[in-house]
């Protein structure tokens, strides 16, 4: 699987709590990009990465073993639902770049269908699992296409998962919001923080805001 802008954005933007973060969970971790970014950003945290696709887990194991944070990273080759049943842990931070496409034809490739469609992890299941695994003052961060974000927001509000802040991402200043990265918790915030970012200021030219947010994770920025 390719490293995409979405994963980099959620890994870079996700606010790290003021208190020391000791446990982080990456849901649907793929080959480990976001988990590695969180290990880089949170030097005292232990990061668990859950991924149902076995070949992706094999790649992730290699990526983790070759990183300087290998002693703080652990791979779980299982579904998020099964992980929620079996684990006794609670997490200060949960991050997720989930399957995006809730509608439409599924990719004929089984692996790509797992990565791109939410037929094996519905939004309601994700919310229920997050609520179970979050520590009392923990946070959950995820990235979604704008239409799926609206559905998630309604579902989360029904289950008392509260939105604290969000980043609306536009491909360019002239285009509509394509992705929303949002931060959620078990406690109701005083107000909702809203930010906006566009990836490119012109064709093939990253915006200054994008570069500032992600430069620590790219070699060519």
Which CATH number belongs to the domain containing residue 188 in this structure?
3.40.50.150
Residue 105: the pLDDT is: 47
pLDDT tens, 110-150? 445 444 444 578 999 999 999 999 999 999 999 999 999 99
Q: What does the block give as tokens for 161?
A: 């998962």
- ∠115-116-118 over CA atoms, to 5°? 95
Over the stretch 151-209, which tens digit does the pLDDT of each residue have?
A: 999 999 999 999 999 999 999 999 999 999 999 999 999 999 999 999 999 888 999 99
Predicted local confidence at residue 104, as pLDDT: 47
Q: pTM above the 0.85 mark?
A: yes
Q: Which domain holds residue 76?
A: 5-217
Domain total in the chain = 1
Q: Quote the pLDDT of residue 157.
A: 94
Asked if residue 146 lies in contact with residue 180, where contact means CB atoms within 8 angstroms, the answer is: yes
The reported pLDDT for the residue numbered 65 is 97
Q: Compute the distance between CA of residue 2 and CA of residue 103 in angstroms, rounded to an integer.
A: 22
Q: CA separation (Å) from 66 to 85, 130, 204?
A: 30, 29, 31
């Amino acid at each position: 699987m390719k490293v995409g802008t979405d994963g980099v954005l959620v890994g870079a933007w996700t606010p790290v709590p003021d208190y020391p973060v000791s446990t982080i969970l990456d849901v649907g971790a793929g080959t480990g990009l976001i988990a590695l970014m969180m290990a880089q950003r949170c030097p005292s945290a232990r990061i668990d990465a859950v991924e149902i696709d076995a070949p992706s887990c094999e790649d992730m194991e290699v990526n983790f073993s070759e990183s300087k944070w290998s002693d703080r990273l652990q791979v779980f080759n299982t579904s998020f639902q099964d992980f929620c049943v079996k684990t006794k842990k609670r997490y200060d931070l949960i991050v997720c770049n989930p399957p995006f496409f809730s509608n439409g034809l599924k990719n004929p490739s089984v692996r790509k269908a797992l990565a791109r469609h939410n037929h094996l992890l519905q939004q309601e299941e994700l919310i229920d699992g997050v609520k179970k695994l979050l520590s009392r003052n923990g946070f959950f961060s995820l990235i979604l296409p704008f239409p799926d974000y609206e559905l998630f927001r309604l579902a989360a509000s029904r289950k008392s998962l509260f939105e604290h802040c969000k980043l609306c991402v536009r491909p360019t200043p002239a285009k509509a919001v394509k992705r929303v990265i949002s931060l959620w918790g078990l406690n109701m915030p005083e107000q909702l923080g809203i930010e906006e970012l566009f990836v490119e200021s012109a064709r093939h030219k990253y915006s200054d805001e994008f570069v500032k947010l992600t430069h620590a994770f790219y070699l060519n920025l």
